[in-house]
Structure 1
Amino acid sequence: MSRLDDFREDCFRAHNEKRLLHGVCALRHSLALDKTAQDWAEALLLEDGIKNSPLSSRGEVGESISVRTSTGTHVDMQGHEVVNTWHSDAENYNYENGKGPAGNFTQLVWSSTREVGFGKACGPGKCVVVAHYRPPGNVLGRYLENVFRPKESVKEGVKQPIRNTFALNNGKYFL
């Protein structure tokens, strides 16, 4: 397995662990979405800023992007680290009215999303991570039916055995 495959597996596992916390089904890993996310991560590595991909702008995929820069030459990100950062917006989200920062967190746990793919591109002083989701989340007027509070037992500190809820099948995890 390559380092990129390891990164994708780390992202995939972290995504489904966070989704489980919110009571939504696990995502399938899509090789086609890996390719579109990888292509966009590589394009953004050459850009000065961050912008959504044409696929995302047309509403064909949901998209989450993280960029890390450094004055040093080697910059990297771990999959679970990126997912934890995206999930951290949960503390600012209002589950009662579906208002708050819509973006990486809400796409991560969007219940009607079914598949995901990841890309990562790193160069001197910069690393870019892109996740592509299908069907896309963050649909206006659909937050209350797609973004749920964390399960009470998890919120109260009773940790559920998340790893035991997955079954390995050909390197992919399923609920």
Structure 2
Amino acid sequence: YNDELAAVAQEWAEHLIRNKKFEHKPNNPYGENLYINIKPNKPAEELPTDEAALSRSIAMWYAEVDDYKGLFGKEPKRKKLLMGPDTGHFTQLVWKKSKAVGCGIARGNNAIVVCCNYAPAGNVFDKFAVNVDPAGHR
């Protein structure tokens, strides 16, 4: 776990809540995964705890593995990566060369945002075959 990455993620998560936005940080030198849980017109107590939000975000990102099947050990075509089902959260989560992670969680406006940064960044074109192993393989 990396405190510097966590601080950057925390700052961005707070920015998103404060500005009522949900978008990736421009020019972020790190890999980034985002998650939001919104409960409009509900009390803040109905939002998940920070631990539950982090757990749900990781589970959702990893669930993209189902759309990545058939691509393990291959170099996916850029068009498939950019236009096909969303798998970038999963691939960043398991990217071999990413050695550090740090996450931030912010809440407000009936929403909770989770932001995780990874270094070095994953999802590098022409490097998927060597960085994304089949589930359970190390």
Q: TM-score range by the shorter chain?
A: 0.7 to 0.9
Residue type matched to 2:115 in 1? V
Distance in 2 of aligned mates of 1:149 and 1:37: 28
Q: Is the 8 A contact 1:69 1:127 kept in 2?
A: yes
In the TM superposition, structure 1's runs of 4+ consecutive aligned residues that sit over 3 Å from their partners are: 98-102
Tell me the residue number matched to 2:35: 66
**How do 1:16-165 and structure 2 match up within 5 A?**
29-56=1-28, 60-71=29-40, 72-74=42-44, 75-76=47-48, 78=52, 79-93=54-68, 94-99=71-76, 100=81, 101-151=86-136
AA aligned to 1:106 is T
Other structure's SS at 1:151 match: coil
Distance in 2, matches of 1:151 and 1:40, equals 32
User: Unmatched 5+ residue regions in structure 2?
Assistant: none
CA shift digits 1:35-80 (9 cap, x unpaired)? 0000000001123432111342xxx100000011112122235122
Shift of 1:151: 2.8
Question: Deviation per CA, 1:15-50, whole angstroms, max 9, x where unpaired?
Answer: xxxxxxxxxxxxxx0010110000000001123432
Alpha-carbon distance between aligned partners in 2 of 1:89 and 1:98, rounded to the nearest angstrom: 17
Spell out, residue by residue over 1:131-166, the C-alpha distance to the aligned partner (whole angstroms, 9 max, x if none). Answer: 0010000001110010010137xxxxxxxxxxxxxx
Q: Secondary structure at the match of 2:34?
A: strand
Compute the TM-score of the two structures, normalised by the length of structure 1: 0.64
Q: Are the aligned partners of 2:5 and 2:103 in contact in 1 as well (CA < 8 Å)?
A: yes
SS at match of 1:116: strand
**Correspondence 1:162-173 to 2 at 5 A:** none
Is the 8 Å Cα contact of residues 73 and 124 (structure 1) preserved in structure 2? no
RMSD over equivalenced CA pairs, Å: 1.7
Secondary structure of the 1:144 match is helix
Retained in 1: the 8 A contact 2:73–2:133? no
In structure 1, the gaps of 5 or more residues are 1-28, 153-175
Deviation at 1:108, TM superposition (A): 0.2
TM-score by length of 2: 0.80
> Contact 1:33 / 1:133 at 8 angstroms: preserved in 2?
yes
